Structure 1
Amino acid sequence: MEPRGVDAYGYFEREGSLGRVQEAFAPVVAAARALVADAYGPRLHSAYLYGSVPRGTACPGRSDLDLLLALHHEPADEDRDAAEVLARTLDEEFPQIDGAGVLLYGRARLLSEQERYDMGWFLACLCTPLLGPDLAEELPRYRPDPVLARETNGDLAALLPRWRARLDEAAAPGDVRRLSRGIARHLVRTGLMLVMPRWGGWTSDLPESAEVFARYYPQRAAQMRAAAAVALEPVSDPSVPRALVDDLGPWLAEEYTARLGTKTPR
């Protein structure tokens, strides 16, 4: 499998565009643009889409809508409250999405040295401009190198106990489904990031990510493929995400730290 997602010089190509949004999701994107502008007004610097909708790979009724909002200031309680209302409104009004999520960051933090190889990279390479000036113009170009891999997903060991606690608290099947999807997605992304510097490319496609990982770790290929399946079709059986957290997770965290190191504390 040849590396992709980078240009001829090895730099990331920005994935997604408004031109790739499928017809079924165009009304959702239009509503999101209007709701964001109305909710945040002059507090908003810029807004971005990310995930399957701007990549043009979303499945009606199954995919969620993901937004990143850059504010002129660090998010306050009123900003977080507005984000919850925004996400709930979109989810309730549009059956073609299965949930909506809103990430909030201050402009200065997104451009900070601390976030240069984490949220800065995420915005510049994986997010599609929706409103306002594009902060990617103030960020460097990126390559799939070990520094990027360490600073994006090098904190898996710290996440595992939090996931276990959340699984213990999850009671409703819907809660377990959301957790299973989030946990599985994160593990597959971490698996890809682990091998990304050796592969030299990038993909947001979860089954493809599992296959790239499998080339380097065939002994864990079946588990990673299973995680990719859960990420696409979340389950309500808590034993499934629990098995991922208790077996694949610790091994992946240990291997990640051994090869790439630990993410710089925030």
Structure 2
Amino acid sequence: MEHRGVDPYGYFEREGALGKVQERFRGVVAAARERTGEAFGRRLHSAYLYGSVPRGAARPGRSDLDLLLALHHEPSAEDRDTAEVLARGLDEEFEEIDGVGLLLYGKDTLLSEAEQFDLGWFLACLCTPLLGADLAEHLPRYRPDGLLARETNGDLAERLPAWRATAQAATTPEEYRRLSRSFARQLVRTGFTLVMPRWGGWTSDLTESAEVFGLYYPERAAQMRGAAAVALDPVADPAVLRAYIEDLGPWLADEYTARHGTKSPRSA
């Protein structure tokens, strides 16, 4: 049987590792570690990489650098400003990356019961420790089941109105490209987690995710493959955005709700 990202007992294996970082990206990773520690000091509990860089699948000049920072306290406005400056500096200095995504949370939120099968799972299974003590030691092990599917992406229906508003407000080719990439990534990942419990494994590879989805929904396979292609090479075509928010997105949201239910509400 193929590996599918789980151990012999069906639990997820952490997918990334610092040892998988390609040589071209080691400089920016080292800088991210050093600058994160300097910028946040004792406020920082731990820092993590996620995405294509720690999986060893990043494309020079095309892939972004994704970071998750866990603070000892809930992030303040000052913390968010610090994170923005950190991200912008890395993006401007290192041509190997095309943007920096930086998630900022308090450690209590990451370890909370409400987030155990969303942010907690994300940290424990998809994030690679970069700096500080690993919070995954305080989290359970996870399987590719319906509960995880519901709590990770069971809110697509709630997100679609905001997508529509954002798409309608876009006017420039750069905005269309950015939104096509964002929407396509989320649709492919949601399509994958829709079928994840039946497939019995995990992949973060968008092309593979679309192919796995197509095994269970062949009538939508071509659309999802197209979305995976746009996620990797975004397009400045408003018609693509309309197809996502008027056809594939609503269908996927309805099918997700029917199969897995909706994500548990979070307190404001």
Q: What interval of TM-score do these two structures reach, taking the shorter chain for normalisation?
A: over 0.9
Corresponding residue for 1:9? 9
State how far apart, in whole Å, the 1-side matches of 2:55 and 2:170 are. 31
Unmatched 5+ residue regions in structure 2? none
Q: Deviations over 1:191-232 (max 9, x none)?
A: 010000111010001010001000100000010000000000
Q: Deviations over 1:60-108 (max 9, x none)?
A: 0100000000000011100111111111111111111110010001000
Q: Cα distance, 1:178 vs. partner?
A: 1.5
State how far apart, in whole Å, the 2-side matches of 1:36 and 1:59 are. 23
Q: Deviations over 1:173-194 (max 9, x none)?
A: 2222121111100000000100
| Residue correspondence of structure 1 range 207-218 to structure 2 within 5 A | 207-218=207-218
1:131 aligns with 2:131: yes
Q: Cα distance, 1:244 vs. partner?
A: 1.3
CA contact (8 A) 1:3 1:200 kept: no
| Residue correspondence of structure 1 range 77-92 to structure 2 within 5 A | 77-92=77-92
For 1:93, give the aligned amino acid.
E
Q: What secondary structure is seen at the aligned counterpart in 2 of 1:201?
A: coil
Corresponding residue for 1:238? 238
| Residue correspondence of structure 1 range 225-264 to structure 2 within 5 A | 225-264=225-264
Unmatched 5+ residue regions in structure 1? none
Q: Cα distance, 1:172 vs. partner?
A: 2.6
TM-score (norm 1): 0.98
| Residue correspondence of structure 1 range 166-245 to structure 2 within 5 A | 166-245=166-245
For 2:237, give the aligned amino acid.
D
Q: What secondary structure is seen at the aligned counterpart in 1 of 2:49?
A: strand
| Residue correspondence of structure 1 range 93-172 to structure 2 within 5 A | 93-172=93-172
State how far apart, in whole Å, the 1-side matches of 2:66 and 2:195 are. 26
State how far apart, in whole Å, the 2-side matches of 1:115 and 1:202 are. 19
Q: Cα distance, 1:45 vs. partner?
A: 0.2
The percentage of aligned residue pairs carrying the same residue is 75
For 2:18, give the aligned amino acid.
L
CA contact (8 A) 1:3 1:202 kept: no
Q: What secondary structure is seen at the aligned counterpart in 1 of 2:219?
A: helix
Runs of 4+ in 1 over 4 A off after TM superposition: none
Change beyond 3 A, Cα 1:3–1:263: farther
Corresponding residue for 1:27? 27
1:71 aligns with 2:68: no
Query: Aligned pair count?
Result: 266
Q: What secondary structure is seen at the aligned counterpart in 1 of 2:68?
A: strand
State how far apart, in whole Å, the 1-side matches of 2:143 and 2:175 are. 36
Q: Cα distance, 1:241 vs. partner?
A: 2.1
